[in-house]
Amino acid sequence: MDDLMKLVIGWTFVGAFVFTVITTCLSLVGWVKFADRKQQQRLFQVVIIELVVGAAAQVAGVARFNPAPVKNDLRQAGANEATTETLKELLAPEADGSSRITKKQAAALVDRIKPRLGTDLAAQKEALRAKVTSMPEGTLSARDASEIRTHPLLKLKAATLAPR
């Protein structure tokens, strides 16, 4: 399951728990009235079950709702897409067919792409880096630029370029 979806589901459960606790507490002091006394007892049982399940989930490590990794992954995915788009634009041929990017610039842009280690994306990045490094110094030829531009890594979008 996607980390963002886990975060949404987790915080939805937290919201439901908070609502249940507040309703139960207000019913205990008499500010919320139920038609049947059994409803209040059932609600109190539900709060106890939620507390036990929540505590067990926390101890087991299942209930982690830290938004920081998700935020960082989304930010890096956007940065990866921006970098690949910049690289593709600079690799596009000029009107005379020449390239407007040097090997050094292309290598620097490839190095800015940060996929998660050990993934297929990381392998594609290393293949692209090797291809760029093997090219002659200076401005890339139109053929070299075309080879880089058609690399599979440069055809991916932000969702695929996320580090996770």
The per-residue pLDDT for range 23-45, each reduced to its tens digit, is 988 988 889 888 888 888 898 89
What's the whole-number average pLDDT of the chain?
84
**Cβ(149)–Cβ(88) under 8 Å?**
yes
Q: SS3 of 134, please?
A: coil
**Cβ(123)–Cβ(86) under 8 Å?**
no
Q: SS3 of 139, please?
A: strand
Indicate whether 158 pLDDT > 60: no
Structure tokens at 142: 């139109």
Q: How confident is the model at residue 105 (pLDDT cuts 50, 70, 90)?
A: very high
Alpha carbon of 2 to those of 39, 137, 143: distances in Å? 37, 42, 39
For 49-54, what is the mean pLDDT? Answer: 89
Q: Per-residue pLDDT tens for 106-147? A: 999 999 998 888 888 889 999 999 999 998 998 888 888 888
Single pTM value for the model: 0.62
Structure tokens at 46: 């539900």
Q: How confident is the model at residue 163 (pLDDT cuts 50, 70, 90)?
A: low
- Dihedrals φ, ψ of 49, to 5°? -65, -40
**Cβ(164)–Cβ(5) under 8 Å?**
no
**Cα–Cα–Cα angle for 13, 19, 20, nearest 5°?**
90
Give the count of beta carbons closer than 10 Å to the beta carbon of residue 77. 21
Q: What is the pLDDT of residue 4?
A: 75
CA pair distance 154, 121, nearest whole angstrom: 11
Q: Is 17 exposed, middle or buried (0-12, 13-18, 19+ CB in 10 A)?
A: middle
CA 27 to chain centre: 41
Report percent pLDDT > 90 for the chain.
19
CA pair distance 23, 71, nearest whole angstrom: 32
